Amino acid sequence: MPAPRPPRFDAGADEVARTAAAAPDWAALAAANRPCVACPELAAARQHVVVGDVPVGRPRFALVGEAPGATEDETGRPFVGKSGALLDELLGQAGLSRADAAVLNVVKCRPPGNRTPKSAEVARCSGWLRRQLELLDPPVVVALGLSAAKWFLGPRTVLAQVRARPHEVGGRAVWATYHPSAAIRFGPNGAPRAGLLADLTAVAGSLA
């Protein structure tokens, strides 16, 4: 399966793609990303562009979520709220360390009210994530939640049909699984938490 190339809806997506592609390294890419105003509604409401967290050196794997939440918007860092705390807990149970991972999102600005990002927003922001993956070159990607899964596997993706196994996308193994927020919503005994832990454990096994 080729690397994902989401449809471009307007000139903003083209401009982001050109700007991101020109960044020679992570520092330059992050500096170019932070003042982005390609999505006027998101830019007007945000406190921070949440570029992502990266380890020193090549990450063993990347975690890719949907978009920042309120705590992430306040701090400028991904997965630091309740979902992040649960993610860290489940990573540990699975035998993985966040310190070895790149932690990213499909959309870098918080949508108002934590709504699902619009397709045009995903398209405009795609250049940033595409260049992040090119520069970081993680061998394995864990797509957390349906929005992230669709970015990698296509708009008709059904999470229940694609999780629990790797998919080769652009030379990487992509695992699609539940978002930690779903695990919180359905509770400690719910299927999303069990499925997320099982998938992270399988990812850990693939990296061993």
- Per residue in 5-16, pLDDT (tens digit) is 555 457 889 999
Please tell me the predicted confidence (pLDDT) of residue 11: 80
Domains of the chain: 11-207 (3.40.470.10)
Cα 15 to Cα 22, 32, 38, 76, 155: the distances in Å are: 11, 12, 8, 23, 23
Please tell me the predicted confidence (pLDDT) of residue 5: 55
Rounded CA separation 4/14 (Å): 15
What are the tokens at 16?
């982001």
Please tell me the predicted confidence (pLDDT) of residue 10: 74
Give the residue from 35, 39, 14, 12 showing the smallest Cα distance to 111: 39
Q: Kindly report the average pLDDT of the chain as a whole number.
A: 94
Please tell me the predicted confidence (pLDDT) of residue 120: 93
- CA dihedral for 56, 76, 202, 129, sign (positive or negative): negative
Q: For residue range 16-60, what is the model confidence (pLDDT) as tens digits?
A: 999 999 999 999 999 999 999 999 999 999 999 999 999 999 999
Residues of the chain with confidence (pLDDT) below 70: 1-9
pTM of the predicted protein model: 0.93
